[in-house]
Each structure stands twice: as C-alpha cells, then as structure tokens.
Chain A
Amino acid sequence: MMSTQPEPLQPSALSKTPNWTKTRWWFSGNRPRLVITTLILIPICLLWIYPFLWTVSAALKSNGEIFAGLGLIPRELELSNFPRAWTEANIGRYFINTVIITVSSVAIVVVTTAMMGYVLGRYRYPGKRIVIGILVATVFLPQGYTIIPVFELISSLGLSSSLIGVILGTSGGSPIIFILLFTGYFSRLPNELEEAAIIDGAGFLRVFWQVMLPLSKPIIATVAIMQTLHAWNDFLLPLVLTLSRPDLRTLSVGVYAFQGEFFIDWGGMAAAATITILPIIVLFLFMQRYFVEGIAGAVKQ
C-alpha cells in the first residue's frame, strides 16, 4: 500500500549520525591523562571562540568602552547599537534580503538536486555515466575564477535589477556534492516500495513524489542546511551582483559596506556582525548532526 508509512529506513552509514565518541581509544582507563587533556583543551577552546564572544560583548558596549579594556562584561549595558545598525545602516533591509535569498535558493537547490540524484541513483539509461563524469570533474572549481562570466550572464539576462539574479547565482554555484549525496542515498533504497507503488498504478512522478522523496528526509535536511550555510555566508557573488544596487545587498556585503562608511561606529559594526552570525550559529548548534553529516559525506564520496 502506498499510504502506509514505512518504517524509518537506515540503508546507509550516511543516514546515521556518526558516533564520534564510540571508538575506544588507547588507555581508556587512564584518568590522569584524560584530566590533563581536558584541562589543556578547555582554555584552547575558549580562546578559539573568543572573537565571537568579543563581538557580542562589543555590541553591548558603548563606542568609548569597546577598546578601553579587555573585559568582556560591559560596565554599562548599551542596547542602542542594535536599533542604530538595524535602521541607519540598513541592516534590517539586508537581513530581509538575505532571508529571501537563502529560503529561495534552498528551495531551488533541494528540488533540483533531489530530482537529479533520484534518476542518477535509481535508473540506468543512456548518457547517465557521461553526466556523472562531467559533474564530478567540476567539483573542485573555485568560485573566484568563474565570477566574471556569472556577472556578465546575470546582467545580460536582465536579472541584475532584482534579487532573482543573486538567488539563481547562489543556487547554481555548488550543488554537485548535494547531487552526489542524493544519488548515493537513493541508490541504496530497497526496490520493494517502488515496485509496490508501481503495482498500485503509480506513475514515475507519483513514485518519486509520494514514495521516494519522503524517504530521503535525512538527505533533504542535510542539503537544506548546507545550502543555508552557503547562501547566508556567500560574499563574492552578492558583492559583485549588487555593486550598483545597494538596496539588494545581503548581510555580509552590507556589513562590509558599513565598515567603509561608518568606520568609527564600532558598536554599530559589532551589532551588525552579531545580527549576521548569531542566527547561523544558533542554527548550527541545534542542527549540528546534519552539518557534520553533510561535511563528512563530502569526504566519503
């Protein structure tokens, strides 16, 4: 039956969270060694994230206090930095642009890479191997060396006057590794569900949409998160595409421009930086498993 929800499948190692702490390491009963390791790592890790703590702390200080001392706790809580950055430096506008670009590009990338991965992973048809070969060959192309033709293409298509150009460029840049993730996952799913659906009279589209796509939720989540990360953090492409249209800037470009225009407003800068990086850090902390999976998947492929 098509309507019955199948048991959650775990057909591949990729769909499971790698259990990092599983490996029993050497002298696992050696307590002093573990205590020393922990004591060494704690200050290193705190130092590691110090720049972010410093940023948030600076966002809550007055401009006079930021460079006055090393303490992270503000003497007086200064909350005016955030509204000032949000309205005067247009960060609010850039925030909305970034959200629109991120959400649209995630939708485009998930749908297109899932479709591509599905047929590559489950069917054998003429020309398939050529397509896979060409895709794999382009995985290692750095973005900086394709920016000029992308800029020219978007302009000549007349897309540079709206966010659509940035959305398309952000969606088209990097999804080959996502296609490979979907391909690997779909190829490992058992045939029975598909066959049952076909006997029930489902066509190609219904098999994909109602049987296969719902089964690929872990990969959809991984791809959606990786693309969110990419779209939210991208710099070169939105920078180039919005050179003549400041109102279309994303957060990363907007904060960069802010630095050029209001270079002594450190508090406002820090607030704008906090507005940009906090959502992505929070997303990471809650969805950590998918981040790690997507990245580990890249090296395993």
Chain B
Amino acid sequence: MVRQGATIYKPKRQRSLWQEAWKYRWCYVFMLPSLILTGMFTFYPIIASWYFAFLDWSGFTAARTFVGLANFREVMTDDLFWGAFRRSMIFMVASVPLQMGLSLIVAIVLNDRALKLAPVFRTMFFIPVVTTTAIVGIVMSFVFSPFNGPVNGILRNLGIISRPIDFLGGADTALWTVIGVFVWKWFGITMIYWLASLQTIPQDLYEAARLDGATRPQLLRHIILPLLTPFAIVILLITAVGSLNVFALVQTMTGGGPFFASEVMEVYIYRTAFGTGGGGSVPRLGYASAAGVFFGIAVMVITIVQGLAVRRIRTRPIS
C-alpha cells in the first residue's frame, strides 16, 4: 500500500537524524494542518473523556469538582446504564449477522455479468445509504405510524393484521423496528463491500471450476466463500463498529422511548450529558463521560476477544 522500498531507514548517528528531519522539513509542514484537526477532534477527545470522567461537572458552569471514581461507581449501579448497555449489545448481535448475511446473498446475485439490470438494482439498494439518517428516522416514524401509516395500511390490506401495530410506541417492538430500519439503511454499504471483495476473485477460477464440473453450491462453498473470508473479517469489524453508531436513527425514530425501551448507549450518553431527556434532568458531562469511557473499554475488550477468537479459528489446521 505505502511504498516503503526495500531499504529501511536507519539513522547512522543521532546528529544525522536531525539533519534528515531538517531535509524533509516540508513534509512536517504538510502534515501539520491535518494533525492539528485530528489532534483536536480525535486524540484530544479520547484523552479528555478520561479526565472528565473523574469530574462532577454540569458543563454550563466553570465549577468542576474532582470526585475520583464516584462517577464510575454510580454508572455501575445505574439500571438505565445497564439497560442501554444491553440494548446496544442486542443491537449489534442482531443487526450485524442480518446485515452481513443478507447483503452477501444480494451481492452474489448482483455480481452476475449476465444480469442486465444489476447496476440499476445496485443503485436502488444503495440509495438509503446516502440519505440523511435523521430524516430517514423522522420519515420512518410516519411510515410505521399506527394511525394509518403505510406499513400498517399495507399489512391490513393484505389481511395479515386486523388491528394496527404501534411499532415504535410498543415496548416490545420499538427496538426491533429500529434495528430493522438500521439494517435497511446500511444494507447497501455492506453490499458494496461484498461486491468489491467478489471482484477480487479471478475470472479463471470460475472457468476452471466450471470445466471441472463443479455445481453452483460447490463453487460457492469451496471457492467463493473461502476466498471471501479475509474480507469478511474486515467487513465484520466495520459493520460491528457501525452498529454502535446509531444515535441519529434511534433519537429521531423513538428518542430512546417508550420508557427507555429503545435507549441505546449513545442516546443514554446524550441524554445524561445534555439533559434533554425531559423530566427536568440536569446535564452531567462528567457522569456521561464516565459512562462513555466505561462502555468504550467494554467494546474494546469485546473487539479484542473477537479478534483472538477469529485468529484461533483461522490458525486451526484445515482438516
């Protein structure tokens, strides 16, 4: 990817490192604007979250009191935090396999030269990806409305239901409806990942397999899927992280309701940090930071465990 050449840079003496650096001074100048931006909006926030987590601080006044681990202790005993934690995990575990599996099927179907309309289908599957998530959420709250919303209308016309279902107002259905819409919204991006991966399979392999008399399922099982595995791991990681980035959709579809039934971690952090959850709650940036840091660590641990598990499966000798 990056041209490194065969030789590895080796400073001969300490002095020559500085000479080398001076020689390439323009390189450092060119890195500066980008580094300032990433420093401000990526690195600083990571460090600052940790610092804020130890403060009692509303964000509106300058008063910041150092409270040690008190925020973390409170986070650990807050049922709403664990509820949001659990729902974020449900969101990930439910949406990732659904999104990856369905989009792989569609990608394999569309990756067919003979299918003349494939580019049109691809475009249509991709349209939800480019649309504004917050707007999609608002539109979907109408589409799933129990008061003659189109989904209830269609289901009733088909005779599947007799009474309208309050998809977003029901505690049992709200989270699942949001998950469904999330999968629909981001389906196209995973499909493009799969298509890009499928393009890397050389044409000759299909031909060779065909000459050997392989059937379609055999081809899929023994050639396509094994060759996709390295891509699948990257796609899994991207999709899993994406499934934690759901604020806009949840906030606009349900606001975390009804009675926190669809409140995921990001909504919990937003509500506690900026105190907009109603009920006269006070903004607490310090406490929300502690929740964010705690959740961040949990996600990191899950990712590492996942990574190790994948590694173990991959290094296992093929029988």
- A interface residues with partner B (beta carbon < 8 Å): 18-30, 34, 37-38, 41-42, 45-46, 48-52, 54-55, 58, 67-70, 108, 111-113, 115-116, 118-128, 131-132, 134-135, 138, 140-153, 168-169, 171-173, 175-176, 179-180, 183-184, 187-188, 204-205, 208, 229, 232-233, 235-236, 240, 243, 251-253, 255-256, 259, 266, 269-270, 273, 276-277, 280-281, 283-285, 288, 291-292, 295-296, 298-301
Q: A285-B123, A291-B126 are in contact. List 8 more A-B contacts (CB 8 A).
A: A20-B195, A21-B112, A23-B112, A173-B42, A187-B1, A233-B133, A236-B266, A251-B132
Closest 8 CB pairs of A and B: A172-B41, A146-B45, A144-B266, A125-B24, A149-B48, A296-B196, A25-B112, A149-B45
A49 touches B124 (CB 8 A): yes
A124 touches B9 (CB 8 A): yes
B260 contacts A by Cβ under 8 Å = no
Known: A135-B38, A296-B193. A232 touches B132 (CB 8 A): yes
- What are 5 pairs between A and B in contact, CB < 8 Å? A19-B199, A145-B49, A153-B45, A299-B193, A299-B234
CA of A67 to CA of B115 in the docked complex: distance in angstroms?
Answer: 38
Per-position contact with A for B12-29: 1 when CB-CB < 8 Å, else 0? 000001001101101110
B123 touches A240 (CB 8 A): no
Nearest-CB residue, chain B, relative to A30: B114
CA of A239 to CA of B184 in the docked complex: distance in angstroms?
Answer: 24
A126 touches B20 (CB 8 A): yes
- B interface residues with partner A (beta carbon < 8 Å): 1-5, 9, 11, 17, 20-21, 23-24, 26-28, 30-31, 33-35, 37-38, 40-46, 48-49, 52, 59, 109-128, 130-136, 138-143, 145, 147-150, 153-154, 157, 184, 189, 192-193, 195-199, 201, 203, 206-207, 210, 216, 219, 231, 234-235, 237-238, 241, 244-245, 247-248, 251-252, 265-266, 269-270, 273-274, 276, 285, 288-289, 292, 295-296, 303
Known: A125-B24, A172-B40. A273 touches B245 (CB 8 A): no
Known: A41-B121, A141-B42, A148-B292. A123 touches B24 (CB 8 A): yes
Contacts of B9 in A (CB 8 A): 124, 126
Contacts of A140 in B (CB 8 A): 237-238, 241, 303
Contacts of A142 in B (CB 8 A): 241, 244-245, 266
B269 touches A252 (CB 8 A): no
Q: Pick the residue among B4, B135, B157, B234 that contacts A124 (CB under 8 A).
A: B4
A147 touches B273 (CB 8 A): yes
- Report A176 CB to chain B, min CB distance, Å: 7
Q: Pick the residue among A111, A124, A299 that contacts B197 (CB under 8 A).
A: A299
- Report B186 CB to chain A, min CB distance, Å: 11
Contacts of A25 in B (CB 8 A): 111-115, 206
Nearest-CB residue, chain A, relative to B184: A48
Nearest-CB residue, chain A, relative to B193: A299
A24 touches B40 (CB 8 A): no
B134 touches A255 (CB 8 A): yes
Contacts of A251 in B (CB 8 A): 132, 135
Known: A149-B44, A168-B40, A235-B248. A292 touches B59 (CB 8 A): no
B143 touches A233 (CB 8 A): no
Q: Pick the residue among A113, A147, A229 that contacts B34 (CB under 8 A).
A: A113
CA of A259 to CA of B134 in the docked complex: distance in angstroms?
Answer: 11
B31 touches A116 (CB 8 A): yes
A112 touches B37 (CB 8 A): yes
B132 touches A233 (CB 8 A): yes
Nearest-CB residue, chain A, relative to B34: A116
A146 touches B42 (CB 8 A): yes
Q: Pick the residue among A24, A50, A235 that contacts B247 (CB under 8 A).
A: A235
Say what secondary structure dominates the interface of chain B.
helix
A252 touches B42 (CB 8 A): no
CA of A173 to CA of B42 in the docked complex: distance in angstroms?
Answer: 7
Nearest-CB residue, chain B, relative to A189: B3
- Among A108, A145, A173, chain B packs the most CB atoms within 10 A around the CB of A145
B139 touches A146 (CB 8 A): no
Contacts of B52 in A (CB 8 A): 148-149, 152
A172 touches B38 (CB 8 A): yes
Nearest-CB residue, chain B, relative to A233: B132
Nearest-CB residue, chain B, relative to A277: B131
Nearest-CB residue, chain A, relative to B33: A112
A172 touches B37 (CB 8 A): yes
A288 touches B143 (CB 8 A): no
CA of A219 to CA of B146 in the docked complex: distance in angstroms?
Answer: 46
Contacts of B150 in A (CB 8 A): 50, 54, 70
- Report B292 CB to chain A, min CB distance, Å: 5
A148 touches B143 (CB 8 A): no
- Among B145, B150, B269, chain A packs the most CB atoms within 10 A around the CB of B150
Q: Pick the residue among B41, B59, B117, B245 that contacts A38 (CB under 8 A).
A: B117
Nearest-CB residue, chain A, relative to B130: A284
Q: Pick the residue among B21, B136, B199, B206 that contacts A24 (CB under 8 A).
A: B206
CA of A112 to CA of B30 in the docked complex: distance in angstroms?
Answer: 8
- Report A193 CB to chain B, min CB distance, Å: 15
Contacts of B113 in A (CB 8 A): 21-25, 28
CA of A24 to CA of B270 in the docked complex: distance in angstroms?
Answer: 49
Known: A138-B43, A255-B135, A281-B130. A183 touches B2 (CB 8 A): yes
Nearest-CB residue, chain B, relative to A28: B114
B135 touches A281 (CB 8 A): no
- Report A5 CB to chain B, min CB distance, Å: 24
CA of A28 to CA of B23 in the docked complex: distance in angstroms?
Answer: 58
Contacts of B59 in A (CB 8 A): 148, 151-152
